[in-house]
Amino acid sequence: MKKKKLDELKRECLECKKCVLGETRINIVFSDGNPESAKAILIGEAPGENEDKTGTPFVGRAGKLLNEFLEKAGISREKDLYIINTVKCRPPKNRVPADTEKKACEDYLLKQIEIINPKILIFCGATALKSFYDKKIPISKIRGEVLELEIGGKTRKCIPIFHPSYLLRYHSLEEGSPRYLMLEDLKKIKTLLA
């Protein structure tokens, strides 16, 4: 049932030209993961070059790192997560999507959330967080916190985490390091999904 609704929504996205990103994309990057078994939705920023080529979110260097951290935390990308972005098309030169571009994609994003109806929304990075949370708090201050936010007419549990592209700059797993904190946040999410 979920798959059928999502397939219909994906067909709409394939025709979408609501913003300039529809003119420059190779592929729409609709989602990854199993909509039937997913307990959480992970929302990223926007597709990058590799994602635009493949049509799948988080497949570049940052995606590989995300997969490593998910595995360490015991979260299955294939079973536990449904992965989407704030926009479905790659912004030129991988820039942050403009507010108008995010607004153009908002209905698709909210419909995906409504169809999946996850236990938890994971905001992966500052852009995803800012799309739903209007307080100007850096992600470094709020990551790992469980937020109760009104999204799509329903109060939902939401947890911001660092974006894996941020972690590519840091290699230490020492206590308090960004990679250490990411792993702790994902372990917390794993507990909440159980």
Per-residue confidence at 1, pLDDT binned at 50, 70, 90?
A: confident
Count: domains in the chain: 1
User: If you count them, how many residues does the chain have?
Assistant: 194
- The gap between the terminal CA atoms of the chain, to the nearest Å, is 24
CATH number for position 136: 3.40.470.10
What single-letter amino acid sits at 13? C
Read off the pLDDT of residues 106-164 as tens digits, 9 standing for 90 and up: 999 999 999 999 999 999 999 999 999 999 999 999 999 999 999 999 999 999 999 99
- Rg (C-alpha) for the chain, rounded Å, is 16
Separation of alpha carbons 190 and 5, rounded Å: 27
| The two structure tokens encoding residue 119 | 């236990």
* pLDDT (average), residues 166-186: 96
pLDDT tens-digit map of 50-60: 999 999 999 99
Helix, strand, coil percent values for the chain (each to nearest 5): 45, 15, 40
- pLDDT at res. 124: 98
Q: What domain range is 47 assigned to?
A: 2-193
pLDDT per position as a tens digit, 26-80 = 999 999 999 999 999 999 999 999 999 999 999 999 999 999 999 999 999 999 9
Give the residue from 137, 143, 151 showing the smallest Cα distance to 189: 143
The rounded distance, in Å, linking the Cα atoms of 90 and 55 is: 10
At position 10, the amino acid (one-letter code) is K
What is the model's pLDDT at position 43? 98
Determine contact, residues 57/90, Cβ cutoff 8 Å.
no
